[in-house]
Amino acid sequence: MMDFLLAVENSGFSLMLKQNSTGYVAILAFHTVGLAFLVGVSAIFALRILGITPGIPLKPLQGFFPLMWIGLGINAVTGSLMLTEYPSDYFVDLSFYMKMSCVALALVMLRKTQILVYGEGVDPDTVANSKEVQLKVRIMLCAWVIAIWGGRVTAYSIPTKYQTLAALTIFLTIALFVIRLVGRKIGLVDAPTQVHRSGS
């Protein structure tokens, strides 16, 4: 198996990708765009279902699903190209398998949620409040976070993996805070209801 991986790694195609910095940057850029389409739209969909952005209408979001599947196609192609560069590192790294497993889990949860929420004769807003759908989108979001972390740290050292995980956690915390703050100002996120008590 390792001989095959080394053969792919040392093939003319792989060497061409590694030596052509412009080509590598282009592949990486398209991979990032695909990730933005796939994870970005599905995250907005999940946040809407969880009630974090209730100002976004749920039904029209269905029109963005083709964009997510286009992003998946872009990532499948660009990811395969990048995989040919150092397969002997990727295929022996647990992070790589964790990433791919979480991508598969996220896609399954996304597809199941899509079927439930946008099923024929179903009211999306009613179904979105069900415990089953809420659980699926939570699993999906967690899977995307782990997948992004796994992709970022594949073939890196153990300390770097932990440092990147810490940085990602901090970033997500700040991002959620900003989303809620900005969302309240533009009406996409409901402000907490204040209860006024009259003195006796």
Ordered DSSP codes for 25-71? HHHHHHHHHHHIIIIIHHHHHHHHHTTSSTTS-SGGGGGGHHHHHHH
Q: What percent of the chain has pLDDT over 70?
A: 85
Decide: helix, strand or coil at residue 200: coil
Over range 119-141, report the average pLDDT.
91
CA distances from 140 to 26, 39, 136, 143 (A): 28, 10, 6, 5
CB neighbour list of residue 187: distance below 8 Å, 6 or more residues apart: 55
Instruction: Look up the pTM and report it.
Output: 0.76
Condensed to tens digits (0 to 9), the pLDDT of residues 164-190 reads 667 777 877 787 777 677 766 766 555
Cβ-based burial of 89 (10 A; exposed 0-12, middle 13-18, buried ≥19): middle
Over range 48-59, report the average pLDDT.
85
Condensed to tens digits (0 to 9), the pLDDT of residues 131-163 reads 999 999 999 999 998 898 888 777 555 666 666
Model pLDDT, residue 130? 92
